[in-house]
Amino acid sequence: MQLTDITAATVSVVAGRLLRRLGIALVLTFFALIALYYFTTAGLVALQMNFGLLQGLLIVGAIYAATAVVLLVALLATRRKSVLTTSARGTSVSRNMQVTMLLEAVMLGYMLANRTGRAQRER
């Protein structure tokens, strides 16, 4: 089995998982939007009976605005930090070194595998 075969098999497995997760996420989003529509309609009808149409619409709009603000704050709080910090540069260098060492180990293993293959064929 060659390295290209292993790479192709790995990529197909990972791509399959991602596509399945994407499909599930799309279906989940679709049903969540349908549920949101029905809950909004039911809430608006109930608010309209108690407060009137305009006030009911304003209350529903305020709920959506508050939800958007909470989600925006959550997104801003969990964003990635700047890459230009000094600690991130040190981490980047060590990652590059790790990748370099991994590639060297793969090349060395490939060379040693070819040598033992030739030695066994010569016997």
The domain ranges of the chain are: 1-79, 82-123
20 and 12 Cβ atoms separated by less than 8 Å: no
Task: Tell me the whole-structure pTM to 2 decimals.
Answer: 0.51
- pLDDT tens-place values along the chain, 123 residues long: 677 777 777 778 888 888 999 999 999 999 999 999 999 999 999 999 999 999 999 999 999 999 999 999 998 898 876 655 555 555 566 878 888 888 888 888 888 888 765 655 565
How far is CA 122 from each of CA 53, 85, 108, 111, 114, rounded to the nearest angstrom? 91, 56, 21, 17, 12
Can you give the length of the chain in residues?
Answer: 123
